[in-house]
Structure 1
Amino acid sequence: MEKIIKEANETLSALENTLSKFNTAHVNAVPFKGSWTAGQLAEHMILSNSGFLQVINGPVTETDKPADLMVKEIRKDFLNFNVKYDSPKEIYPEDRTYNQPELLKSLKEIREGISNAVTGLDLTKTCTAYELPGYGFLTRLEAIYFVIYHTQRHVHQLKNIYNELDSN
């Protein structure tokens, strides 16, 4: 339990810390062709992670498999930086000007919500509010690891965006 709390907090904090390094102009700057801005990436993470927080806190059922069955596969998929994924339209960020302090506030609230879920809920239960394409219905534990690995993937991308903009 301590391991997942620490990993979730460190990963979600890394997202906030990396975003906070950007100056105001760079938050909405396109770093290279085909890339999201830092603001769009942060908005994508807010949409995705807040959605997962709702699923984790939503209806559950008993689990008839190991609670961590999909964790290794999720990790393998999301930490393979050689593969590019298309975002589902529900969590695709708008092309608009983003406010960095508002993004950071939302990310912090989500981090706190994930921390509360990890410490207060039975992570072995299966979430029934949403079936994730390719993975099925996740346990709360798997859903939290999805948040962790998906966020780690985007922290990696956010650092690349920062380095590109900082070098110009």
Structure 2
Amino acid sequence: MTTDISTALNNVKQELQQTIWGFTQEQFNLVPFVGSWTAGQVAEHIIRFSSGGAPILNAPGTVSERDPAEKIEQLRDLFLNFNIKMIAPAFIEPSGGPHQKNTVISSLENCFSPMIELSKSQDLTLIYPDFDLPQFGTLTRLEWAYFMLFHTQRHIRQLNNIKENLK
């Protein structure tokens, strides 16, 4: 399962970077419709969120008394349900910008690459006890990695929607 999540995280990183490259620098900072973030803001939000991935996968963990993949399906069902509008917690809300595409791409690489490497080498069955996720409680490292994956997939879809609305 470690190989699966490592590969999935690498693939989503590449898809995200390609999606961002699809915006011109100007488009990257345009609000596509009322109430929307810009593509740059979405990317900054992903960076703020994903920058916690490596520290979580590298933090001390506790032995789990349950299936380490138990909550993956629930996380997927929530984050890939595009009929639900989610509100980001304040600590991962993006700034107003403007955002530079090249800087964002570099920052994404710096967030995802360590997380991908740690997903190959760490014991993903351990629980990360330092944070209770509302609705889910504590998650295993494996579940956190999938959370990062699903969160990014959700925002890739949002970026594609933004791109469509800028045409």
Shorter chain as normaliser: what TM range?
Answer: over 0.9
Q: CA RMSD in A?
A: 1.0
| Distance in structure 1 (CA, Å) of the matches to 2:106 and 2:41 | 15
Residue 129 of structure 1 deviates from its aligned partner by: 2.6
- 1:44 alignment partner in structure 2: 45
Number of equivalent positions: 166
Secondary structure of the 1:60 match is coil
SS state of the match for residue 102, structure 2? Answer: helix
Contact 2:21 2:101 in 1 (8 A): yes
Letter in 2 for 1:65: R
**Matched AA of 2:26:** A
1:31 and 1:124 map into 2 onto residues whose CA distance is 41
Query: CA contact under 8 A between 1:55 and 1:130: conserved in structure 2?
Result: no
1:162 corresponds in structure 2 to 163
- Unaligned runs of 5+ residues in structure 1 are none
Question: Any idea what SS the aligned residue of 2:130 has?
Answer: coil
Alpha-carbon offset, residue 56 of structure 1: 1.9
- Aligned pairs for 1:20-31 (under 5 A) are 20-31=21-32
**1:46-125 equivalences in 2 (<5 Å):** 46-125=47-126
Aligned equivalents of 1:49, 1:138: Cα separation in 2 = 16
What CA distance in whole angstroms lies between the structure 2 residues aligned with 1:59 and 1:133? Answer: 21
Aligned to 2:131: 130
Contact 2:59/2:128 (8 A) holds in 1 = yes
Q: Give 1:51's aligned amino acid.
A: G
What SS class does the counterpart of residue 129 from structure 1 fall into? strand
SS of residue matched to 1:61:
coil
More strand per residue: 2
Letter in 1 for 2:4: K
Distance 1:27 1:136 in 2: 35
1:33 aligns with 34
Does structure 2 conserve the Cα–Cα contact (< 8 Å) formed by 1:78 and 1:150?
Answer: yes
2:18 & 2:112 partners in 1: Cα distance? Answer: 12
Distance 1:73 1:141 in 2: 13
Check the 8 A contact 2:6/2:117 in 1, yes or no.
Answer: no
TM-score, normalised on structure 1? 0.95
Q: Which residue of 2 aligns with 1:142?
A: 143
